Structure 1
Amino acid sequence: MSLTIYGVLRSRASRPIWLAKELGIPYRHVPVIQGYRLADPLALDAPFNTVTPAFREINPNGLIPSIQDGGLVLHESLAITLYLAKKHGGPLAPRDLTEEAQAMMWSLWATTSVEEQALSMRAGPDAIERAFPGLDKQFGVLASALKAGGGWLLGGRFTVADLNVAECVRYAQSAPALFEKHPAVKEWLAACHARPAFQAMWAERDAEPA
């Protein structure tokens, strides 16, 4: 087993673990908790976390997730999923250079245009009100793309692009009115989350300490 995924599932490590389950590839999961969640991340009895020197040797940024795949060490969740999809192939992977470019485009769009605003909504009603107009616009962009693509972002099928975008869009679920305004996005996200691999990943996430 050459693939090791570092990070707890209550983090962006959910992304490569979801994808690994979609691909059916074996992997070793090493839980690494965020240091900010601990009173003293360097205490002798502290769990393996992002501040510990041992993890900083893996990822000097002190962020999760990271992977080791043979001799490759890779960080950044969306880069990891794109890499794993391309390496292992199958229907989740881009079929050609055009689809590869589109998968990268949608992944970058999600992290730059959606993720930060969606996460900010967790702060409460005032934050939701502030972020709503920007996400309303971006959800409109996504809805149009889904309509043009037969319900998915690439080639009329679920791919790594959908997984990456869904993992950013789900952070906005604290604003249900946003999804009611864009039913195509709501239906697409529900379809993503209905996949057995997502359900398996989420069950493991729910079993983790909060």
Structure 2
Amino acid sequence: MITLYGVYRSRASRPLWLLTELDLPFTHVPVIQGYRLPDPKAPDAALNTASASYLAVNPQGQIPAYEEDGLVLTESLAITLHIARCHGGPLGPQSNAESALMEQWSLFAATSIETPALEIQYIIGDGGDKTPEGQASIAVNVEKLRRPLARMQAHLEHNQWLVGDRFTAADINTAEVVRYAQGHPTLLAEFPAVNAWLDRCQSRPAFKAMWAARLAEPA
């Protein structure tokens, strides 16, 4: 039996989206980030990343975490790729080459896109886009994103999806990273094939179900 720890407002969104796509039965334990609570170690605190019971699962105190038949995984990309390999059917790799490509796109997203995209999201979320300093920082991070997004643009001009000409876990892992930059008003418009691909990903019923569950959680 699969157990997935973590709330939707976290990187747990990646495996939660895939589990929804696959309609796999699993137990969801909604562990919240400790930093979001006034006192995460209070006796009446909600289950969180500083709770002793959760630290027994992941001593690093981060979400998500995944358990299945004695296997414990604590990195969202690894979790999603494992689910895809073992349970994914057409959403998982159909060959060693596809497995390598799914890993490559997932790592590409994490190493080339995630940090500057998240920085843009944080600045806009904090209202920094209204200040000269925030606008300058956004511009720096936008420039960092243009090269990886251009790579995606070149691929997606000739392919509907990232691997195997079908929607796969690679699209989930990458889309959930590119999403962080969606708050920028013009960046994705520079890369129309990427923008169209992201729209295809986010138009899927499983994404919409995941997103609705995310919005239902306390911010």
> Shorter-chain-normalised TM-score: which range?
over 0.9
How far off is 1:188 after superposition?
0.4
Equivalent residue in structure 1 for 2:206, among 194, 197, 209:
197
Correspondence for 1:141? 151
Matched residue type, 2:111: T
Matched residues in 2 for 1:40 and 1:134: separation? Answer: 37
Percent identical residues: 52
Matched residue type, 1:101: A
Correspondence for 1:162? 171
Could you tell me which runs of 5 or more consecutive residues in structure 1 were left unpaired when the two chains were aligned: none
- Paired residue secondary structure (2:56): helix
Alignment of 1:16-31 (within 5 A): 16-31=15-30
Alignment of 1:51-200 (within 5 A): 51-122=50-121, 123=123, 124-125=128-129, 126=135, 127-148=137-158, 150-200=159-209
> Residues 155 and 169 from structure 1, CA distance in 2 versus in 1: closer, same or farther, beyond 3 angstroms?
same
Could you tell me which runs of 5 or more consecutive residues in structure 2 were left unpaired when the two chains were aligned: 130-134
* TM-score of the two chains, using structure 2 as the length reference: 0.93
How far off is 1:89 after superposition?
3.3
Matched residue type, 2:205: P
Deviates more, 1:86-95 or 1:8-17: 86-95
Correspondence for 1:4? 3
- Paired residue secondary structure (2:210): helix
How far off is 1:147 after superposition?
2.1
Matched residues in 1 for 2:148 and 2:88: separation? Answer: 29
Matched residues in 2 for 1:98 and 1:43: separation? Answer: 49
- Paired residue secondary structure (1:91): helix
Number of aligned residues? 208
Correspondence for 2:47? 48
Matched residues in 1 for 2:23 and 2:177: separation? Answer: 23
Matched residues in 2 for 1:166 and 1:10: separation? Answer: 15
Matched residues in 1 for 2:210 and 2:100: separation? Answer: 27
How far off is 1:170 after superposition?
0.2
Residue deviations 1:44-103 (CA, integer Å, cap 9, x gap): 111000011110000011000001112111110000000000001311111100010010
